[in-house]
A = this chain, B = another copy of it.
């Protein structure tokens, strides 16, 4: 396996403009759509149970985010993820604030039965999903990425999927290997829904990966890498969270496969 050329997935994404079906939260909808458009994907936000099962097979990937979920949305998420599983459409679960309420925990358990390709969260969320701890409050993590390392590996093995943990240093694991992504900036947690946008972006990258585990791991790392690089570049001239947003979208838009291959240091190790 090589993780040395994540750029090829950005190249493929820009060439193929994958359609990414998002059932996401109200806070993230606009920013996730703009992030997907900037990186080169085509977003589609729709959630009516009357149509999601018809739409999922048209999409290259599905991104599910429970941030502002309610029963009608949960039903649509379950229909959509069932269809994604049946049609082998890659899908991403973003378990926002799963530690906060039992409602979220039950829903995530049901969704995980439909076999996500990737679960992406912060350390608190991944710890909660793995049943180790319930330390989350709201959408912001109170745990560090490193604390979630074992939980991420265990969750990836049990679920047979990728798990990505966002933090100061991101980690992505398939249960056998762990990839670390460095970059980003301390301002990023002060801008809402960047994590949600990363989940949607990872879905876009999975839409252009093939079925091999190393392909999916590298494609996911490429998505995290785009955020790490674009975040660094955007923060270079930012004077606060407001002035970060526009250059972040610009940086995503300007990223090339060469940028990723040259500037992104992916550190890989065994999970044991």
Residue on B with the closest CB to A102?
B54
Q: Which listed residue, B30, B38, B67, B240, touches A38 by the CB 8 Å rule?
A: B240
Contact B58 A45 (CB under 8 A): no
Contact A43 B138 (CB under 8 A): yes
Contact B33 A27 (CB under 8 A): yes
- A216: Cβ under 8 A from any B Cβ: no
- A42: Cβ under 8 A from any B Cβ: yes
- Give residues of chain A (233-268) contacting chain B, Cβ–Cβ below 8 Å: 238-243, 245-254
Residue on B with the closest CB to A247?
B242
Contact B241 A37 (CB under 8 A): yes
- A217: Cβ under 8 A from any B Cβ: no
Provide the residues of chain B in CB contact with A214, threshold 8 Å: none
Provide the residues of chain B in CB contact with A241, threshold 8 Å: 34, 37-38, 249-250, 253
Cβ of A231 to closest chain B Cβ, rounded Å: 13
**Once bound together, how far apart are the Cα atoms of A26 and B240, in whole Å?**
25
- A140: Cβ under 8 A from any B Cβ: yes
Copies of this polypeptide in the complex: 3
- A192: Cβ under 8 A from any B Cβ: yes
Provide the residues of chain B in CB contact with A44, threshold 8 Å: 97, 100, 137-139
Partner-binding segment picked from A68-76, A155-163, A201-209: A68-76
**Once bound together, how far apart are the Cα atoms of A19 and B251, in whole Å?**
31
Provide the residues of chain B in CB contact with A269, threshold 8 Å: none
Contact B245 A242 (CB under 8 A): yes
Contact B245 A246 (CB under 8 A): yes
Cβ of A37 to closest chain B Cβ, rounded Å: 5
**Once bound together, how far apart are the Cα atoms of A251 and B252, in whole Å?**
24
**Once bound together, how far apart are the Cα atoms of A178 and B27, in whole Å?**
35
- A31: Cβ under 8 A from any B Cβ: yes
**Once bound together, how far apart are the Cα atoms of A117 and B240, in whole Å?**
31
Question: Can you spell out 16 A-B residue pairs with CB atoms less than 8 angstroms apart?
Answer: A19-B137, A26-B30, A27-B45, A28-B30, A30-B31, A33-B192, A34-B242, A38-B190, A38-B240, A47-B68, A47-B70, A50-B71, A54-B101, A239-B250, A240-B254, A242-B250
